[in-house]
Amino acid sequence: MKTHVVGIGTDIESIIDGRSAYVEPLATLMSKRGVPVRLTHERWSHIVESHDYLAGHLDLVVETAGDPDYVVTGVRDELLAIKSYEQTAIGAKHVVVAYKEQGQDGSIITCVYDLEAREAAQKRNPMAEVIDILSLVPHSLNLRSKQLWLDYDDEADVLYISLRKPQRATDSEMAGHFIYHYDGNELVGVTIWHARSSVEADAV
């Protein structure tokens, strides 16, 4: 199996004479198009804080983004690298890594485990459970603290909503720019891509 890893760094941000020093990415890999794609320490921190099942599985994320089974276009300009694994820490899953390419520079937005559609999923009505939470999105983006069971990644414009901590999700489903996280049939979290831009578009 060929992986397209350029390197995995471990440098930590440092302050020199009051100025922030350059921070090496946590990992850099080569996409299918031959574009270097970075995963920063800050982005990985956001991801594992809300998707705790990915903690300790950086290798799956790097392998999926660098050597996916296929790549599809997302709801806007992001790309979704998808790879199937017969075994992960929580069973057989598809790993989905969302990333952007801008010229010869790329960055990972977020990543998630996802199962193929199944009969049990048809019985779920996640929007009914999260409609009150979603009504808080415009306010949550303006909070001084960006983490109160909410974690907003400003650079990636991704809002992570946790209904319990830790989530310990065993399944995830994507619907447009929403990702619903479940423990069995219990909704434990929601990830929203393009959170701020969607709110601003609705306000126009």
What burial class does residue 166 get, using C-beta atoms within 10 Å of its C-beta: 0-12 exposed, 13-18 middle, 19+ buried? middle
Threshold 0.75, pTM exceeds: no
In this prediction, residue 155 carries a pLDDT of: 84
Residue pLDDT, tens place only, 82-123: 898 888 877 778 888 999 999 899 999 998 887 543 333 444
Query: CB under 8 Å to 127, separation ≥6 — which residues?
Result: none
72 vs 114: CA distance, rounded Å: 15
Lowest-pLDDT choice from 10-14, 34-38, 62-66, 88-92: 10-14
Joined together, the tokens standing for residue 38 give 């970075």
End-to-end CA distance of the chain: 48
Confidence of residue 11 (pLDDT cuts 50, 70, 90): very low
Give the other-Cβ count within 10 Å of 187's Cβ.
21
For the chain, the average pLDDT equals 77
CB 47 within 8 A of CB 110: yes
How big is the CA angle at 151 (ends 150 and 155), to the nearest 5 degrees? 145
Instruction: Give residue-wise pLDDT tens across range 15-58.
Output: 445 555 567 889 999 998 899 999 999 999 999 988 888 888 99
Instruction: Answer yes or no: is pLDDT of 191 > 60.
Output: yes
Question: What does the pLDDT look like over 143-186, one tens digit per residue?
Answer: 544 445 788 888 888 999 888 888 888 888 888 788 888 888 88
**Banded pLDDT at 8 (limits 50, 70, 90):** very low
Greatest Cα pair distance in the chain: 59
Which amino acid is present at 192?
Answer: I
SS3 content of the chain, % helix, strand, coil (to 5): 25, 35, 40
| Separation CA 126–CA 95 (nearest Å) | 21
